[in-house]
Protein backbone atom coordinates (compact mmCIF):
# COMPACT_ATOMS: atom_id res chain seq x y z
CA UNK A 1 0.00 0.00 0.00
CA UNK A 2 1.28 3.47 -0.92
CA UNK A 3 1.21 5.84 2.08
CA UNK A 4 -1.03 8.85 1.55
CA UNK A 5 0.54 12.09 2.78
CA UNK A 6 -1.32 15.36 3.20
CA UNK A 7 0.97 18.39 2.99
CA UNK A 8 -0.44 21.59 4.49
CA UNK A 9 1.64 24.59 3.50
CA UNK A 10 0.64 28.05 2.29
CA UNK A 11 3.96 29.01 0.69
CA UNK A 12 3.59 27.91 -2.94
CA UNK A 13 7.31 27.44 -3.58
CA UNK A 14 7.68 25.16 -0.57
CA UNK A 15 4.51 23.14 -1.13
CA UNK A 16 5.50 22.57 -4.79
CA UNK A 17 8.93 21.41 -3.68
CA UNK A 18 7.45 19.09 -1.05
CA UNK A 19 4.91 17.64 -3.47
CA UNK A 20 7.57 17.06 -6.13
CA UNK A 21 10.00 15.36 -3.76
CA UNK A 22 7.53 13.22 -1.81
CA UNK A 23 5.91 12.18 -5.07
CA UNK A 24 9.33 11.12 -6.36
CA UNK A 25 9.86 9.07 -3.20
CA UNK A 26 6.75 7.09 -4.04
CA UNK A 27 4.17 8.64 -1.72
CA UNK A 28 0.68 9.59 -2.72
CA UNK A 29 0.70 13.34 -2.02
CA UNK A 30 -2.06 15.94 -1.79
CA UNK A 31 -1.44 19.59 -0.89
CA UNK A 32 -3.70 21.93 1.06
CA UNK A 33 -2.83 25.63 1.20
CA UNK A 34 -4.74 26.60 4.35
CA UNK A 35 -6.03 25.03 7.54
CA UNK A 36 -9.65 24.88 6.49
CA UNK A 37 -8.84 23.03 3.29
CA UNK A 38 -6.62 20.64 5.27
CA UNK A 39 -9.46 19.69 7.62
CA UNK A 40 -11.83 19.15 4.69
CA UNK A 41 -9.34 16.99 2.79
CA UNK A 42 -8.48 14.97 5.88
CA UNK A 43 -12.14 14.19 6.51
CA UNK A 44 -12.69 13.17 2.89
CA UNK A 45 -9.78 10.77 2.84
CA UNK A 46 -7.83 9.90 5.96
CA UNK A 47 -4.10 10.52 5.41
CA UNK A 48 -1.45 8.08 6.66
CA UNK A 49 0.65 11.08 7.67
CA UNK A 50 0.27 14.86 7.68
CA UNK A 51 3.04 17.41 7.17
CA UNK A 52 1.58 20.51 8.75
CA UNK A 53 2.88 24.07 8.65
CA UNK A 54 2.55 25.99 11.92
CA UNK A 55 1.65 29.41 10.43
CA UNK A 56 -1.33 29.06 8.11
CA UNK A 57 -4.12 31.33 6.92
CA UNK A 58 -7.71 30.83 8.21
CA UNK A 59 -7.08 28.02 10.68
CA UNK A 60 -3.59 27.82 12.24
CA UNK A 61 -1.52 24.66 12.12
CA UNK A 62 -1.78 24.17 15.84
CA UNK A 63 -5.57 24.44 15.66
CA UNK A 64 -5.71 21.99 12.72
CA UNK A 65 -3.66 19.59 14.83
CA UNK A 66 -5.97 20.00 17.82
CA UNK A 67 -9.12 19.44 15.76
CA UNK A 68 -7.68 16.36 14.05
CA UNK A 69 -6.85 14.91 17.46
CA UNK A 70 -10.40 15.52 18.64
CA UNK A 71 -11.89 13.46 15.83
CA UNK A 72 -11.89 9.76 16.56
CA UNK A 73 -10.90 8.76 13.02
CA UNK A 74 -7.91 11.09 12.83
CA UNK A 75 -6.81 10.83 16.46
CA UNK A 76 -3.82 8.62 15.66
CA UNK A 77 -2.75 10.04 12.29
CA UNK A 78 0.94 10.95 12.55
CA UNK A 79 1.55 14.68 12.24
CA UNK A 80 4.90 16.35 11.56
CA UNK A 81 4.80 20.09 12.20
CA UNK A 82 6.85 22.54 10.16
CA UNK A 83 7.82 25.49 12.26
CA UNK A 84 9.87 28.59 11.66
CA UNK A 85 10.22 29.11 15.36
CA UNK A 86 12.68 27.23 17.45
CA UNK A 87 11.68 28.16 20.97
CA UNK A 88 11.32 25.22 23.32
CA UNK A 89 7.91 26.36 24.56
CA UNK A 90 6.49 26.24 21.05
CA UNK A 91 7.86 22.78 20.47
CA UNK A 92 6.31 21.53 23.67
CA UNK A 93 3.06 23.24 22.74
CA UNK A 94 3.14 21.48 19.38
CA UNK A 95 3.76 18.12 20.98
CA UNK A 96 1.18 18.80 23.66
CA UNK A 97 -1.41 19.44 20.97
CA UNK A 98 -0.64 16.05 19.54
CA UNK A 99 2.05 16.49 16.88
CA UNK A 100 4.39 13.50 16.62
CA UNK A 101 7.44 15.40 15.52
CA UNK A 102 8.47 18.80 14.23
CA UNK A 103 10.99 20.11 11.72
CA UNK A 104 12.35 23.63 12.00
CA UNK A 105 12.44 25.76 8.84
CA UNK A 106 14.58 26.06 6.83
CA UNK A 107 15.21 22.32 6.52
CA UNK A 108 16.84 19.99 4.02
CA UNK A 109 14.43 17.76 2.11
CA UNK A 110 16.50 14.74 3.17
CA UNK A 111 15.88 15.62 6.82
CA UNK A 112 12.11 15.79 6.38
CA UNK A 113 12.13 12.53 4.37
CA UNK A 114 14.02 10.78 7.14
CA UNK A 115 11.54 12.03 9.76
CA UNK A 116 8.60 10.89 7.63
CA UNK A 117 10.07 7.41 7.23
CA UNK A 118 10.84 7.21 10.95
CA UNK A 119 7.35 8.28 11.99
CA UNK A 120 5.64 5.89 9.57
CA UNK A 121 7.86 3.04 10.69
CA UNK A 122 7.34 3.83 14.36
CA UNK A 123 3.61 4.28 14.32
CA UNK A 124 2.07 2.13 11.64
CA UNK A 125 3.43 -1.37 12.32
CA UNK A 126 2.92 -1.13 16.08
CA UNK A 127 -0.82 -0.60 15.75
CA UNK A 128 -1.44 -3.93 14.06
CA UNK A 129 0.92 -6.20 15.92
CA UNK A 130 -0.13 -8.64 18.63
CA UNK A 131 3.30 -8.64 20.15
CA UNK A 132 5.24 -5.42 20.58
CA UNK A 133 8.81 -5.11 21.80
CA UNK A 134 10.39 -1.81 22.75
CA UNK A 135 13.78 -1.87 24.42
CA UNK A 136 13.69 -4.56 27.10
CA UNK A 137 9.90 -4.39 27.28
CA UNK A 138 7.65 -6.95 25.57
CA UNK A 139 3.87 -6.77 25.44
CA UNK A 140 1.73 -9.66 24.26
CA UNK A 141 -1.68 -8.15 23.52
CA UNK A 142 -3.37 -11.50 22.94
CA UNK A 143 -2.14 -13.23 26.11
CA UNK A 144 -2.38 -9.89 27.97
CA UNK A 145 1.11 -10.25 29.37
CA UNK A 146 4.02 -7.88 29.82
CA UNK A 147 7.64 -8.82 30.40
CA UNK A 148 10.65 -6.69 31.16
CA UNK A 149 14.12 -8.21 30.89
CA UNK A 150 12.40 -11.57 30.55
CA UNK A 151 10.51 -11.33 33.82
CA UNK A 152 6.78 -11.01 33.97
CA UNK A 153 5.34 -7.67 35.09
CA UNK A 154 1.92 -7.75 36.70
CA UNK A 155 -0.31 -4.85 35.75
CA UNK A 156 -3.87 -3.88 36.53
CA UNK A 157 -6.23 -3.44 33.53
CA UNK A 158 -5.86 0.34 33.44
CA UNK A 159 -2.07 0.21 33.69
CA UNK A 160 -2.05 -2.39 30.91
CA UNK A 161 -4.11 -0.16 28.60
CA UNK A 162 -1.96 2.83 29.49
CA UNK A 163 1.25 0.97 28.68
CA UNK A 164 -0.30 -0.42 25.50
CA UNK A 165 -1.09 3.10 24.32
CA UNK A 166 2.35 4.45 25.23
CA UNK A 167 4.01 1.51 23.44
CA UNK A 168 2.06 2.32 20.29
CA UNK A 169 3.70 5.75 20.25
CA UNK A 170 7.14 5.48 21.81
CA UNK A 171 8.87 8.79 22.37
CA UNK A 172 5.74 10.80 21.85
CA UNK A 173 4.63 13.08 24.68
CA UNK A 174 0.98 12.86 25.73
CA UNK A 175 -0.83 15.30 27.96
CA UNK A 176 -2.96 13.93 30.80
CA UNK A 177 -6.07 14.88 28.81
CA UNK A 178 -4.90 12.94 25.77
CA UNK A 179 -4.18 9.88 27.90
CA UNK A 180 -7.60 10.18 29.54
CA UNK A 181 -9.31 10.26 26.15
CA UNK A 182 -7.28 7.39 24.76
CA UNK A 183 -7.27 5.06 27.76
CA UNK A 184 -10.43 5.90 29.71
CA UNK A 185 -12.51 7.25 26.82
CA UNK A 186 -13.71 10.80 26.24
CA UNK A 187 -17.22 10.06 27.53
CA UNK A 188 -16.01 9.14 31.01
CA UNK A 189 -15.45 11.83 33.60
CA UNK A 190 -12.15 11.24 35.36
CA UNK A 191 -9.93 13.87 36.93
CA UNK A 192 -6.61 14.55 35.21
CA UNK A 193 -4.65 13.63 38.32
CA UNK A 194 -6.07 10.09 38.11
CA UNK A 195 -3.64 9.71 35.21
CA UNK A 196 -0.76 10.56 37.57
CA UNK A 197 -1.91 7.87 39.99
CA UNK A 198 -1.99 5.17 37.32
CA UNK A 199 1.28 6.36 35.76
CA UNK A 200 2.76 6.03 39.26
CA UNK A 201 1.55 2.43 39.58
CA UNK A 202 2.72 1.58 36.08
CA UNK A 203 6.12 3.08 36.80
CA UNK A 204 6.46 1.16 40.05
CA UNK A 205 5.58 -2.13 38.34
CA UNK A 206 7.91 -1.52 35.38
CA UNK A 207 10.82 -0.40 37.54
CA UNK A 208 10.25 -3.29 39.95
CA UNK A 209 10.53 -0.93 42.90
CA UNK A 210 13.47 1.05 41.53
CA UNK A 211 15.62 -1.93 40.57
CA UNK A 212 15.42 -1.02 36.86
CA UNK A 213 15.66 2.29 35.01
CA UNK A 214 12.50 4.34 34.60
CA UNK A 215 11.16 4.13 31.02
CA UNK A 216 8.45 6.73 31.57
CA UNK A 217 9.53 10.29 31.11
CA UNK A 218 7.65 13.12 32.79
CA UNK A 219 7.69 16.25 30.65
CA UNK A 220 6.99 19.23 32.87
CA UNK A 221 3.67 20.93 32.12
CA UNK A 222 3.28 18.73 29.03
CA UNK A 223 2.71 15.14 30.11
CA UNK A 224 4.31 11.73 29.78
CA UNK A 225 6.09 9.61 27.22
CA UNK A 226 7.66 6.19 26.99
CA UNK A 227 11.39 6.50 26.33
CA UNK A 228 13.29 3.25 26.44
CA UNK A 229 16.59 4.82 25.38
CA UNK A 230 16.90 7.34 28.19
Question: Residue numbers of the site for Ca ion (CB under 5 A)?
Answer: 10, 53, 55
Dist. CA 213–CA 228, nearest whole Å: 9
Q: Which contiguous run of DSSP H or E holds residue 30?
A: strand 28-32
Of the two residues 84 and 127, which places its CB atom closer to Ca ion in the complex? Answer: 84
- Closest by CA position to 9, among listed 31, 42, 37: 31
Q: Taking the complex as a whole, how short is the minimal distance between the CB of residue 142 and Ca ion, in angstroms?
A: 45
Residue 47 preceded by cis peptide, ω within 30: no
Cβ-based burial of 36 (10 A; exposed 0-12, middle 13-18, buried ≥19): middle
Phi/psi for 52 (5° steps) reads -125, 120
- Closest by CA position to 206, among listed 193, 217, 195: 217
Q: Taking the complex as a whole, how short is the minimal distance between the CB of residue 9 and Ca ion, in angstroms?
A: 6
Of the two residues 10 and 136, which places its CB atom closer to Ca ion in the complex? Answer: 10
Identify the DSSP state of 174. B
Q: Taking the complex as a whole, how short is the minimal distance between the CB of residue 55 and Ca ion, in angstroms?
A: 4
Of the two residues 29 and 81, which places its CB atom closer to Ca ion in the complex? Answer: 81
Q: Taking the complex as a whole, how short is the minimal distance between the CB of residue 22 and Ca ion, in angstroms?
A: 18
Q: Taking the complex as a whole, how short is the minimal distance between the CB of residue 10 and Ca ion, in angstroms?
A: 5
Of the two residues 9 and 181, which places its CB atom closer to Ca ion in the complex? Answer: 9
**Nearest residue by C-beta to Ca ion?**
55
Of the two residues 81 and 179, which places its CB atom closer to Ca ion in the complex? Answer: 81
Cα(first)–Cα(last) distance of the chain, in Å?
Answer: 34
Phi/psi for 80 (5° steps) reads -110, 120
Q: Taking the complex as a whole, how short is the minimal distance between the CB of residue 79 and Ca ion, in angstroms?
A: 15
Of the two residues 12 and 152, which places its CB atom closer to Ca ion in the complex? Answer: 12
Amino acid sequence: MIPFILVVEDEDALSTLLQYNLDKEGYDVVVASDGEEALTLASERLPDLIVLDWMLPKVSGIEVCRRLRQRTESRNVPIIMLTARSEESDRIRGLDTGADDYVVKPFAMSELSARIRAVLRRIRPGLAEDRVAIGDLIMDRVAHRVKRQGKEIHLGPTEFRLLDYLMQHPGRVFSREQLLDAVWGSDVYVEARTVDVHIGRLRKALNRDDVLSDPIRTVRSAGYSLDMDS
